[in-house]
């Protein structure tokens, strides 16, 4: 069987894992590897003749059939990918930001030039998710996704829960261990998970979801006190990427912390592990879980995509039709204010007669029922901590409640998963 000839752009953590993995696979030949700095020390030995600091030695090489893009970001990745497609090359990428922001343009270009673009590694690292949705689950109508898609934030929240530590202290530890970047904004503010759920919802719902319509909220405001309170009420706090769609094509897609029940599967996804729970018909509810990042888990998905192309080589003029994007309709975005949720609210209020009654009255005036309300001990400054968990209500109403809680401090407002 003739070898598939590929070029790799990027030799960081994932690129190194891909190169190492391919050394044991005879059906693929790495023709060239593009790096930014030829002299940088690396964890992998690559023959000097394979290395280049000019990606166009890959893009313009007629011998190379597949370009593997592993540098991330929008530019220059989009320039390299688009020119590669125009030069007749198939694409394998792990670039979640590019897919979220330019996915429609990317897939339209690939279709125009009859090329395939595979991206299994871009959603959940080593967890197979895109190909199962496109193949084994193709007969299902998926209506809901709840997922933990970022290992850094899941590690931080798990450590806060287990150790009773603050966000700031755990972040420093995670950075020291290499689980969090020096600038962790992309992870802790929810950008990474938002990119991933945008593409995942688009594929699962068969309707395009726009990143600008995805609500995003990070974990930086979650307190150790919230973790303790959640446990007392029978919950864990996780950063959840949530997507649901109704019969009219209205899609509610968002990323934010949530209280999830302790007896749920997602409550037990700890540290850097990721998980995707999907609900649909006829499958019901399934959970796929595993390593969501890292050198070899992510390389596993990248190499799987490469081998999928290799298996089709020379057999058809229209490669991997099931893996292509065939839907043009767009999902109708649901604004966060129009979503319906339960809420956990932590309030510091004056220790005075009628405060709890006042909170109840404000909620009742908005037709919001309370599932539970609990007052903690009185502090030295004569204030009390009050914990409220509501029944389901509209987001815009709970915001109005918060605004009307004068003389009170709302420490935390976190949505509660059903």
Catalytic residues: 196
Query: 192: exposed, middle or buried (C-beta count within 10 Å: 0-12, 13-18, 19+)?
Result: buried
Contact 147, 275 (CB under 8 A): yes
* Nearest CA-CA partner of 29 in 77, 74, 61, 73: 61
Residues 6+ positions from 343 with CB-CB distance below 8 Å: 388, 389, 390, 393, 398, 413, 414, 415, 416
Cα dihedral 307→308→310→311 (10° resolution): 120
Residues 6+ positions from 312 with CB-CB distance below 8 Å:
319, 320
- The answer to whether 333 and 210 have CB atoms below 8 angstroms apart is yes
Instruction: Determine which helix (DSSP H) or strand (DSSP E) holds 398, and give its type and residue range.
Output: helix 395-404
| Beta-carbon count within 10 A of 139 CB | 10
Q: Is 73 left (phi over 0), alpha (psi -120 to 50) or beta?
A: left
Structure tokens belonging to residue 373: 């309300």
Q: Which backbone phi and psi does 412 adopt, to 5 degrees?
A: -150, 140
Strand partners, 385: 348
Of residues 349, 404, 413, 406, the one with CA closest to residue 381: 349
- In this structure, what DSSP letter does residue 330 have? B
Which residue, chain included where needed, has tokens 């901590």? 385
């Amino acid at each position: 069987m003739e070898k598939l000839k590929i070029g790799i752009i990027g030799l960081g953590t994932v690129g190194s894992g891909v190169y190492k993995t391919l050394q044991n696979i005879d059906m693929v030949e790495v023709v060239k590897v593009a790096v930014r700095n030829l002299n940088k020390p690396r964890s992998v030995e690559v023959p000097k003749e394979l290395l280049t600091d000019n990606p166009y030695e890959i893009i313009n090489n007629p011998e190379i059939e597949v370009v593997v893009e592993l540098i991330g970001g929008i530019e220059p990745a989009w320039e390299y990918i688009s020119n590669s497609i125009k030069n007749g090359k198939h694409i394998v990428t792990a670039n979640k930001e590019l897919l979220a922001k330019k996915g429609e343009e990317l897939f339209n270009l690939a279709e125009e030039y009859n090329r395939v673009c595979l991206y299994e590694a871009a959603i959940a690292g080593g967890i197979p998710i895109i190909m199962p949705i496109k193949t084994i689950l193709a007969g299902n109508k998926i209506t809901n996704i709840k997922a933990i898609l970022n290992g850094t934030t899941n590690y931080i929240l798990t450590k806060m829960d287990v150790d009773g530590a603050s966000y700031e202290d755990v972040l420093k530890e995670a950075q020291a261990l290499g689980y969090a970047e020096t600038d962790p904004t992309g992870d802790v503010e929810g950008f990474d998970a938002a990119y991933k759920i945008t593409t995942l919802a688009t594929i699962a719902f068969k309707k395009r979801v726009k990143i600008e319509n995805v609500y995003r909220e990070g974990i930086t405001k979650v307190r150790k006190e919230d973790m303790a309170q959640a446990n007392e009420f029978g919950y864990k706090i996780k950063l959840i990427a949530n997507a649901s769609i109704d019969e009219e094509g209205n899609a509610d897609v968002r990323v934010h912390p949530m209280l999830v029940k302790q007896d749920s599967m997602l409550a037990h996804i700890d540290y850097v592990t990721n998980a995707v729970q999907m609900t649909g018909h006829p499958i019901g509810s399934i959970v796929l879980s595993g390593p969501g990042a890292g050198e070899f888990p992510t390389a596993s998905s990248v190499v799987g995509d490469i081998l999928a192309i290799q298996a089709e080589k020379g057999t058809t003029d229209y490669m991997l039709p099931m893996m292509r994007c065939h839907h043009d309709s767009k999902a109708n975005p649901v604004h966060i204010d129009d979503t319906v949720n339960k809420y956990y609210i932590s309030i510091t209020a004056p220790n005075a007669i009628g405060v709890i009654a006042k909170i109840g009255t404000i909620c009742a005036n908005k037709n919001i029922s309370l599932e539970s309300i609990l007052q903690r001990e009185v502090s030295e400054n004569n204030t009390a901590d009050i914990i409220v968990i509501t029944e389901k209500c509209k987001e815009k109403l709970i915001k109005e409640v918060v605004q009307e809680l004068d003389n009170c401090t709302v420490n935390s407002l976190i949505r509660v998963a059903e």
